[in-house]
Structure 1
Amino acid sequence: MKISLVLGALVLVGVTAAISWWLGINHERRREQANIEMVLAMWDGVINRADPDAVMKYIDEDYIQHNPNVRQGREGVLELISLIRNPPPAMVPPGKKTLKKAIAQGDYVVVIWTQPQPDPHNPGETYSGEAFDMFRIANGKVVEHWDDTRKALTPWRR
């Protein structure tokens, strides 16, 4: 009888641990999916629509920007959307990005895009290239951004 009680207790502990592990994994997956959805909504509002309300909703005040063409902080993103709306004559904005894949791990979301790139062999023409953006999320806001952008001849600033 003691052996069956011990085995029953071990089975109960094992089942409880398995359920806890499974619930933890599902919670993390739901959080990561929510982060992806938030980043894609942010991209649409901030980049595609250049909406200042989207900047306020999704971008943290102390936003860290690793793109050398954009200033730090939320104010840098507000300046960027002003340039998206009214680009100065010398600014050559990048081509529009089309979503290919978004993946998340914890607080990080990586978005892979297809984007027209200038063709160095055929001036004035473009080819379809790949680009990426990576975001770090904290407290429901985008707090940090990385991408594959290099310094522009004329930075995206006023």
Structure 2
Amino acid sequence: MGNKEIVLRAMNELFHEKDSEAVERYWHENYQQHNPSMINGHEGLRNLLPFLDADFKWQPGVIVEENNIVITHSLVHGWGPVPVVVVDIFRLEDGKIAEHWDVVQEEVPADKSANGNAMTSFL
């Protein structure tokens, strides 16, 4: 299984299936988190689950894999009151997610953007 497949499975099993045991399967024991609102380690991931909306949905569009780095550009529903567009950067080590960075912004629908383009691309 490639790094991209590991990330996709990890995100699906933890955030869509709400399987807290996915943390041990897919995240490195020394997991480092760079989102300033989250703590390092497995505990931070487990702490998120109770706060996610029941209809939480992470929908990746563009996915880039280069060596041990996977980058996803996604539309996320249920992270907050409005949909957000997220760029997630994952570094994998020993077949597990070892580090994570993200950039998050509120989605602006295409019909309200200056250029008429959607913020996401689902290839």
TM-score (normalizing by structure 1): 0.56
Structure number with larger C-alpha Rg: 1
Does 2:101 align with 1:101?
no
Root-mean-square deviation (CA, aligned residues, Å) is: 2.6
Moved over 4 A (4+): none
Tell me what 1:143 maps to.
98
Is 1:48 aligned with 2:9? no
Deviations 1:62-117 (A, max 9, x none): 1100112221111111112233379xxxxxxxx63322111111100001112459
What is the CA deviation profile of residues 22-77 of structure 1, one whole-angstrom value per residue up to 9, with x for unaligned ones?
Answer: xxxxxxxxxxx710000000000112222111111001121100112221111111
CA contact (8 A) 1:45 1:55 kept: no
Deviations 1:116-150 (A, max 9, x none): 59xxxxxx8x5x65321110000011000000148
- Distance, in Å, in 1 between the alignment partners of 2:19 and 2:68 is 24
**Quick one: distance in 2 between partners of 1:116 and 1:51?**
18
Unpaired runs of 5+ residues, structure 2, are 106-123
Q: TM-score, normalised by structure 2?
A: 0.70
Structure 1: which 5+ runs fail to align?
1-32, 87-94, 118-123, 151-158
State the identity %. Answer: 28
- In the other structure, the counterpart of 1:75 is 43
Structure with the bigger percentage of helix: 1
Which residue in the other structure is 1:130 paired with? Answer: 85
Distance in 2 between the 1:115 and 1:81 partners?
Answer: 15
Number of residue pairs matched?
A: 102
Q: Which residue of 2 aligns with 1:112?
A: 73
Query: Could you tell which deviates more after superposition, 62-71 or 34-43?
Result: 62-71
Residue type matched to 1:144 in 2? E
